[in-house]
Amino acid sequence: MARPLTLLLVRHGQSEWNAAGLLQGQTPHVPLTELGHSQAAAAARELRGLRPGALISSDLRRAVQTAEHCAHATGLAVTLAPALREQGYGALEGRPSRELWDVVDWTDPHWAADGGESLAELHGRVEAYLKGLCAEPPAAVVALVTHGDTIRAVQAVACGLGPDAMPAVTPPNGSVTRLEIDL
């Protein structure tokens, strides 16, 4: 029987848009704040102790900057994976999050903003990526630097849950979540 793959899910540090309360989605250029760099450095130190054998990151700037801290701490090269991007919110990206509570249907996994993707689409993207990763893992322990909704999708896929049963709680910025997966 194949051994489960250990994933270390690193949520990027605080970004300028996190601090400003703006919905980021797949907006590519948003950098980390000073606090975000400190969170990323702390996550990198934690990661070093967990000894991943591979480091893969979303290609969005806030994740890449976090992954650079992780690479420095672990000595691993960063591989970029667009499949690890945050859920796309299309036309809503850049808007204040507090204004969107009455706009977004958070209960419908098939709802999507204009030009965005639904939770079901995010879940499908993440599931396909994880199946490929499990089929040909680059190491027994893999660090994935990614985003809050993407981490929730990974957790759901690992537990065999669909997009309608994704965890409600998003891990905090700069956190490391250990997960074993066997798809």
Active-site residue, selected from the candidate residues 68, 86, 93, 117:
86
Burial of 107 (0-12, 13-18, 19+ CB in 10 A): exposed
Identify whether the C-beta of residue 144 lies closer than 8 Å to the C-beta of residue 8.
yes
Active-site residue, selected from the candidate residues 12, 37, 69, 123:
12
Burial of 74 (0-12, 13-18, 19+ CB in 10 A): buried
- Is 72 a catalytic site residue? no
- CA atoms of 148 and 125, how far apart (whole Å): 15
Please report, for residues 65, 66, 99, 103, 128, the alpha-carbon distance to residue 71 in angstroms, rounded to integers and kept in the order given: 10, 9, 37, 39, 25
DSSP secondary structure string for all residues of 66-103: HHHHHHHHH-PPEEE-GGGPPPP-GGGTTSBGGGGTTT
- Is 12 a catalytic site residue? yes
- Which amino acids are annotated catalytic? 12, 86
